[in-house]
Structure 1
Amino acid sequence: MLDHLAVTAENLASGVSYVENALGVQMAPGGQHDYMGTHNQLLGLGIFYLEVITINPEAPKPSHPRWFDLDNISGPPKLTNWIVQTDTLDETLAKSPAGTGTPVKLTRGDLHWQMAVPDDGKLPFDGAFPALIQWEGADHPALRLPDLKCRLKQLHVTHPQADGLRDALSVLDFGDVVSVHQGPAKNLQAEIETLHGIRILE
């Protein structure tokens, strides 16, 4: 199922400001990912959540590429990635496109998970294919976040090879909250219901 959405930015403050201004809410603290040299802040979306994730300038640069192609981020904050949860990461990876990644064990505080991280940090289909995650244990970030009544209504994913992307996505189960369209590469748009009405994050 869909797990969460990722907004990437050149720095955490600009990414958080972008989300808070777009949705009219205040994001919650997140934490640090030592293995990747990144940090984040979070927003609950019901059973899903959203993270702003950026390079942590106070962390040592890792010897490997960071996830979500963060080593090459430039320009304004943007919704760049979506993450799908699986209970069988190895099996799902075997059915996924080449380059989806290699499982890496990760932690943030007392949260533990495995994530498929591409060797070059770049996910298939120009990043339009989702990152894959397997949580260890029943705990999940969405369960810890304040409920600000934000809910994801629809995630639109566009790519010039929409048919190929749909075929690749057929191995995943994320319900009807995600739709794939013909269009520019790696163009994500999220319709989010808020107390201020439907807001668009892209």
Structure 2
Amino acid sequence: MELDHLAVTCASLEEGAAWAEERLGVSLDPGGRHDRFGTWNRLLSLGPGLYFEVIAPEPGTTPAVPRWFGLEEAGAPRLGNWIARVPDLDAALAAAPPEAGEALALARGDLSWRVAVPPDGSLPWGGAFPTLIRWASGLHPAERLPDRGVRLLSLEVGHPRAPRLKALLSGLDDPRVTFVTADHPTLRARFSTPKGEVEL
């Protein structure tokens, strides 16, 4: 299991992108659309194999299923989700709590992937348990993004059951990720940017 990307969730992509750009001090790059869920995004490289996205409902879309990433109840921009890639999604889901969701196959252009999504579109454990993903064909969005000099320094995941969460994610060997006991699910990330350290 490896950290794949971080997601800022919000009701408006324009508002979310402006929020992130103001804080990080760099421009985000065009992303794409997710027709199944009626969402779209903007992206930012965080170095090899890792990226940052701002994701929101796309105006005028009415998906047949609930929007993923908890976006049915999207509000102001916030660091709302983290995504971890695994070599075998079916095996990872067999070992994960049921809230992790069900594997779905998605594609956009020459990118294809399988991702775990709860049927109601909610965030597993309020966003504290990562969305699990498996990219196909060796292609990864981070490889296509310009390097704007932003890197992830740390990701702190808070949850009332932090020890249990850490045990469930024992396959994630990344010193940047820590788990802390908190009253409610929280995500806090620190980045190095061209203007210095920034926390979201």
Are the counterparts in 2 of residues 115 and 132 from structure 1 also a CA contact under 8 Å? yes
CA RMSD in angstroms comes to: 1.1
Mapped to 2, the partners of 1:178 and 1:56 lie a distance apart of 31
Residue matched to 1:82: 82
1:8 alignment partner AA: T
CA distance in 1, matches of 2:72, 2:10: 11
Greater Cα offset, 5-14 or 180-189: 180-189
| Alignment partners' CA distance in 2, 1:81 and 1:184 | 17
> CA contact under 8 A between 2:21 and 2:27: conserved in structure 1?
yes
Match of 2:125 in 1: 125
Q: Show the 5 A alignment for 1:29-108.
A: 29-47=30-48, 48-59=50-61, 61-74=62-75, 76-108=76-108
Contact kept, 8 Å, 2:158 with 2:182, in 1: the verdict is yes
TM-score, normalised with respect to structure 2: 0.95
Which 5+ residue runs of structure 2 have no aligned equivalent?
none
Could you give the per-residue CA deviations for residues 98-118 of structure 1, whole angstroms, max 9, x where no partner exists?
A: 121111111122211010111
Q: Render the CA deviation track for 1:12-35: whole Å, top value 9, x for unaligned.
A: 001001100110000000010111
Deviation per CA, 1:113-142: give whole Å up to 9, x if none. Answer: 010111111233222100000000111110
The question of whether the paired residues in 2 share the 8 Å contact of 1:31 and 1:109 is answered with: no
Aligned residue number for residue 22 of structure 1? 23
Counterpart of 1:181? Answer: 180
Question: Is the 8 Å Cα contact of residues 81 and 123 (structure 2) preserved in structure 1?
Answer: no
1:193 is the counterpart of 2:195: no
The AA in structure 2 aligned to 1:187 is: T
> Structure 1 stretches of 5 or more lacking a match?
none
Which residue is equivalent to 2:145?
A: 145
What TM-score, normalized by structure 1, do the two folds share?
0.94
List per-residue Cα deviations over 1:144-200 (Å, max 9, x = no partner): 001011000100111122112112222x32421210111132211110011111111
Aligned residue identity for 1:5 = L
